[in-house]
Amino acid sequence: MMQTNTFSQRVHVSSCSQLRVNRRSPCAASAGSATRACARKPRCVFQPNSTQQCEHKQQQKMMMMMIINDKSKIKESTKRIAVCSATTAAAADAADASGENAAVVNTIKAIFGAGGFALPWAFAQGGTVLVTACLLSSLVLSMETLRMLVAAQDVVVSNNTASESDVSTYAGLTKVALGAFGENLNKTLNVVTCFGITVSYLLFISETAVAMFPAATAATITKVQAVSAITPLVLGLSWIRNMAGVNIISLVGTCSVALGMLVCAVSAATKISMPASLAAIPVANVAAFPGFFGTVAFLFFIHFTLFGIQQGMPQKEKFLGAASKAFVLSAIVGGLFGIICAVGFGPNVSSVVITMLEGPIGVFVKGLLCVNLLFTFPIMAQSALVVCESVFTNNDPAKELAKLPALIVRSAFVLFAALCATLIPNFGAVLGYVGGVCCCAMTLVLPPVILDKCSKKAGQALSSADKLKIPALTLIGVVCMILSVVL
């Protein structure tokens, strides 16, 4: 007799099935016997008892619960992953839509001009602790004065004392706060500073580019030839009028400086031999303060360049947060880069660290520095170029100079800078002093004064903290202006 056990159903083995088997046998049953067999009840039926049925049902129920539970867990995990992915993607999309990411990149680009490559020399001269303290002090002061400028914009716009277009530029905000005199003062400081930096860029880029050639070839290239070769590139970049369109080249510039700093840091790290390398660098050398003061202090003194970045953002209220992220990130990267290269290359590190690299890698990094400075120029010079254009629109912020006249004005600015760079001896040194005074004035002195005046015009009282910060920052700014000349 055939028996079959199963948990899911009763199994019937019918006699008709058995009959078909028997027909193949020599002793097959007769047709009548087969008919009677089919009419009878099946002879082979397995009937699970009640205990087996109960156990089977319990096992089946447990299996179903496990399957449902597993599916629920998988569904919940998938849901959590989807939510996290959606949240991350939404945050990234929101940052892109607001212009925050582009503003961070552009601000970092404005901070890390050629000055970033002088940080190792500053650390080697002034010491790890002293220079770090100066770097952090410059960071804090710059972020606070930038907050004051944004607060001044907000207070006059929210109280209908001025429109957003009135305060869209540094000069416009100064005019609202201090009148026509303040506007003209700001414009003068801005143009002089940017003009001096443009001259420095032309000289620095041309000299760096010449240094990429073999010594014999480089000796035959004059300063006039080098600057003349670089000027067309700077001229073309000066024609960029919309800062929203500079994001791509700014990103390329940021990547170039990041890669250049990385190569320098890796090269320096391979030369570190602890603790001798660290012991060779002073902890704090106060006597060297006059030498490194400008390199560190002016790293974040770029407020005159930031209004263009702010106006290029679709959501301008995100600007302060984006700029703060860029400032802090730049301070961290700059500090680590300066210390690693100072310790690795030693106390005799060059004032421009890339000159410590030799061979093909040195040429490569110098090329990156040239790309970095070229792509920094549109951001740095934008505010001054806008001021120059406004002279031909009667200083009306609602008017924009036509394209052809604007290109002529911008071209004249760059060509005059190139002329000064090639024909006037020691012109860069003179502008260094003037630029130091202008940078300190626009970064440390004017912002607290502007906030104070704007708050009074809007009829809004200052906070207790700002009442203390305004005179303190103004005094610090005046001292830094004096130090930039005396030191």
Per-residue pLDDT reduced to its tens digit, 330-360: 999 999 999 999 999 999 898 888 878 888 8
- Scanning the structure block, which residue is given the tokens 């005094």? 475
Give yes or no for residue 122 having a pLDDT over 60.
yes
| 157-171, 177-191, 234-248: segment of lowest average pLDDT | 234-248
b or e along 95-111 (b: 16 or more beta carbons within 10 Å of the residue's beta carbon)?
Answer: beebbbbbbbbbbbbbb
Res 416: pLDDT: 94
Integer Rg of the chain from CA: 38
Output the six-digit token pair for 283: 């902890």
Q: Which long-range contacts (CB under 8 A, 24 or more apart) does 54-60 make?
A: 56/7, 56/8, 59/7, 60/7, 60/8
Residue 45, Cα to own-chain centre: how many angstroms?
79
Could you give the CA distance from residue 251 to residue 248 in angstroms, rounded to a whole number?
5
Give yes or no for residue 154 having a pLDDT over 50.
yes
Cis peptide bond upstream of 26, omega within 30: no
Confidence of residue 308 (pLDDT cuts 50, 70, 90): confident
| 188-197, 373-382, 440-449: segment of lowest average pLDDT | 373-382
Give, for 126, the enclosing helix (H) or strand (E). Answer: helix 119-126
Output the six-digit token pair for 410: 């911008």
Give yes or no for residue 55 having a pLDDT over 70.
no
Q: Is 142 in contact with 303 (CB distance < 8 Å)?
A: yes
Considering 104-108, 152-156, 216-220, the range whose residues carry the highest mean pLDDT is 152-156
The closest of 427, 268, 327, 388 to 110, measured between CA atoms, is 327
Output the six-digit token pair for 281: 């660098």
The closest of 165, 143, 162, 122 to 319, measured between CA atoms, is 143
The DSSP secondary structure of 131-174, one letter per residue, reads HHHHHHHHHHHHHHHHHHHHHHHHHHHHTTSS-TTTTSSHHHHH
Confidence of residue 8 (pLDDT cuts 50, 70, 90): very low
* 3-state secondary structure at position 28: coil
Q: Give one word for 424, left, alpha or beta, with left for phi > 0 and alpha for psi -120 to 50.
A: beta
Could you give the CA distance from residue 318 to residue 314 in angstroms, rounded to a whole number?
9
> Cβ contacts of residue 293 below 8 Å, gap of 6+?
134, 483, 484, 487
Give, for 12, the enclosing helix (H) or strand (E). Answer: strand 11-13
Res 24: pLDDT: 45
The closest of 43, 19, 14 to 31, measured between CA atoms, is 19
Q: Is 80 in contact with 39 (CB distance < 8 Å)?
A: no
